[in-house]
Structure formats: C-alpha cells, structure tokens
Amino acid sequence: MSSIEPIQFGTDGLRGRAGHAPMEPETLRRVGAALGVLLQREGEGGQRRVLFGNDGRASSSWILESLVQGLMAAEVSSGSVGVVTTPALALLTASGPYDAGIMISASHNPAHDNGVKIFGADGQKLTSEDERELERLANELAPESLSEARVRSSEKLVLQYEGLLGQRFADLDLAGRKVCVDAANGGGSIIAPRVLRMFGADVVEVGCRPDGSNINDGVGALHPEALAPVVREHGACMGICLDGDGDRGIFVDETGAVHDGDAVMTFFGARMHAAGQLPGGVVAATVMSNLGLHEALRRQGVEVRTTPVGDRHVVAAMREHGFALGGEQSGHTLFLEHDLVGDGLYTGLRILDALGGGDMSSAFSAFQRFPQRLVNVEVRSKPVLETVPAVAAKQREVEAALGGQGRLLLRYSGTEPKCRVMVEAREKSMCDRLCDELATVIRAELGA
C-alpha cells in the first residue's frame, strides 16, 4: 500500500486544491471504493447506482473518472448528468433509482479548487457517522487503477428537476417581467436562465458562460455588487446571484440593493408566520446571522433559534423540531417543503412568486442590518484559540467593549486554513476598529 495522507471529511465533504490531497486520483479512487463497499453492505440485493453531477470546473472530468474507478472496483454503476447545481442533483438522486449522489464541486471556492459532496438515497448529506465509516474504509482500501471508467450519460434527467420546479410554482407567470441571473459561471449556468424563461421571464444573463476556469471569478453570490448595475441598467424587477454550485442565493432588488440570506429569512419568516405556516413561530439560523435578523423577526413575534455554522446543522435543527424555515446569512435558505435542500434558484422563484409584481425593495424593507465586519485571516495552524494567550486576552477586551450591544464570533473555517473574525456593533466605526484589532493579533500569533 502506497503512502497517502489520512482521508478526513470536512464540514461539506472533501475539498481542496485539485491535484493535491485529498483531491488527487489515488485518494479519490479510495473514496469511491469505500462508498461502494458501504452501499453494497447496506443494500438489499440488486445493482447499486450512483448519480454524478459537477459545476463545470476543468478538473471535474478526471475527478469523476477516479471516483468511478473506485466504485467499479466495488461493482457499483455510475451515471452523470453533467454540469448541474447541487440542489438539482440532490433532488434527482432522491427521486430516482439511486443509492447515492456525488456532486463534484468546490462551491464558492476558486476554479483551482474542487471537492466532493456525497448524498444518500434520500438526497440529504451523509450523516457524520456515515462519513466516519467512509473515512475508515477509504484509509484501508487500495483499489487498483482501472483502464477505463464507465459512466452512463444521464443529462436528460435535468429536465425532471425543471419539471419539479414547474409543478411547485404552477401559478407563477413572469411574462412581462425582466429578471437578471448571475450563475457564477458554474452549475446553474444552463439551468437557471432556462427555468426562468420557462415561466415567461425576459432573462438577462451574467456569469452563465463557464469555461472551466472562470467559476466565481468576480461573479456570482460572492460578488453580487457586479449584478447591481446590470439590474438597474435593464430595469429588471430582480437579480438572482447563485454561487458556483447553486445552493446559495443572494438577491438584488430593482434599486440595485443587495439582500443576503438574513434578509430573505426576515421576509419569509414574517410572511409565513402571518399565514400560520411557521410551526412554533421559529426560524432556524446559524450564529453567523446578523443581529438585525433577530430584531426584525422579534418585532413580528418570531423567534430565531441559532445553530452552529453550516447548513447541515440548520437542517438537523429543522428536522428535529419540525421548523419550516431556516438558513444562513451566506445565502443557503432552507424550506421544509423543498425537502430541506438549499437551492438558490428555488428561493429566487419563491420570492418572485410572493412579490406578485410588487417591488422587492419595499417587501424587504423590514430587515435593517447591524454594521458587521468579517475578516478572514490565513493561518499556519489551528490551535484552540483559548489556548493562545494574546488572542484570548484580546477576545475578552473586544467582548467587554461591545458590552452587550453587539457580538463577536471567532472560529476557524471548516474548509480552508483561515480564522474568521466577525464583529457586529450598532456603530460601524466601533465594529471596524474592534474587528481589525483582533484580526491583527491573530495574524501576529498564527498568521501563515
């Protein structure tokens, strides 16, 4: 057995620089073989099937080949829908004769990165227990490299996803309405404009020409400011910004103002509560959500229940307590009736349906953001922050300065070598100063 770094799943599957561990052929063959063994062990007779999709990165083809070789070693067959969004793949996996789905994507990361997200037969992300078992198996197996990976083309399956959206918004008529869509040159580049036109919209496309290397490059949910002038120039009623794999949605109103996941949850939380569609009067959101979300929904009689960062934690809370709405500031918005699948395009359609021709700017006016500053500090290692004296002392100083009129969130990224420093305060000057001071200390103590 050759030397290989231990395989460990992060907060959203495997992710890293394409061509480097864990995103290199030998590791990926092991992951494919491990999944195949797990599926064969848990199934009850018959051929095991896995459905693939990708967000258009140049490295996707050889990553697919490596994973399929591992699956073939475990006698599991594979099909691929090609370039697609993560939510479309998840829903197609759940609705078809598939035992698992694999999305090849690094989401909002640059084109030189890639990743693997694995879904169960129900279209939901694997449990932590299943991921730990996959890690164990992948670190033990050593499948041989096969000469040719056999993958069935299943690209027409995407039409089933589009049909599902057509059914869920059967009364939506966008005729005479102009909508701008920015798909980040990623998985939604083909689907998103086509679906909007299916409902009769006049569509203006931005970031819908993937070439394998331009995903998230100045476009998409990470750069919604790029779509704002386009919306104003074309007199559009709304702009939809997706991230690379389409599970996030950030939106631009007719004035060019940008609205993130907190604004979306405020809009739907108040609306669904008034309609008696919000069990317990609760919305689930992560600790990253802005204090403005809490204040705006409190005024509407809605409680915000917080979870750790990551949409899987929001999903777990929603499933456990029966919540109908949840999400993240970053643009993951989760609806119980959409099978708890984050889907930026679905969220956009739902906003358009709710507006009914009215102005988005007026409908979204209830959310007023607290000044917030987020700084990502690249780090060389990730020790427990409380054990770094200078960092711990500065953290206490910042929290004392906020005095209950703001908040500090300090954590490591689960997918990148970064420490995230986020400060909210009622005054922008204080917010910026405290965030920068703490980031400076972290950079001095742990900086790469």
Catalytic residue list? 107
Separation between Cα atoms, residue 168 and residue 166, nearest integer Å: 6
The answer to whether 269 and 302 have CB atoms below 8 angstroms apart is: yes
The answer to whether 261 and 327 have CB atoms below 8 angstroms apart is: yes
Largest CA distance in the chain: 64
Q: Any idea of the CA torsion for 53, 56, 59, 65, to the nearest 10 degrees?
A: 30
Could you tell me how far CA 353 lies from the centroid of its own chain?
Answer: 23
Amino acid letter, 78? S
Is the CA virtual torsion 361, 365, 371, 372 positive or negative? Answer: negative
Other Cβ atoms within 10 Å of 2 Cβ, number: 5
Separation between Cα atoms, residue 389 and residue 404, nearest integer Å: 23
Separation between Cα atoms, residue 301 and residue 122, nearest integer Å: 34
| Bridge-based pairing state of the strands 372-378 and 418-425 | antiparallel
Separation between Cα atoms, residue 442 and residue 393, nearest integer Å: 11
CA distances for 79 relative to 49, 68, 82, 90, angstroms? 8, 9, 9, 14
Residues 6+ apart with CB under 8 A from 89: 51, 52, 53, 81, 101, 103, 119
Tokens standing for residue 372: 């917030």
Q: Any idea of the CA torsion for 438, 442, 444, 448, to the nearest 10 degrees?
A: -140
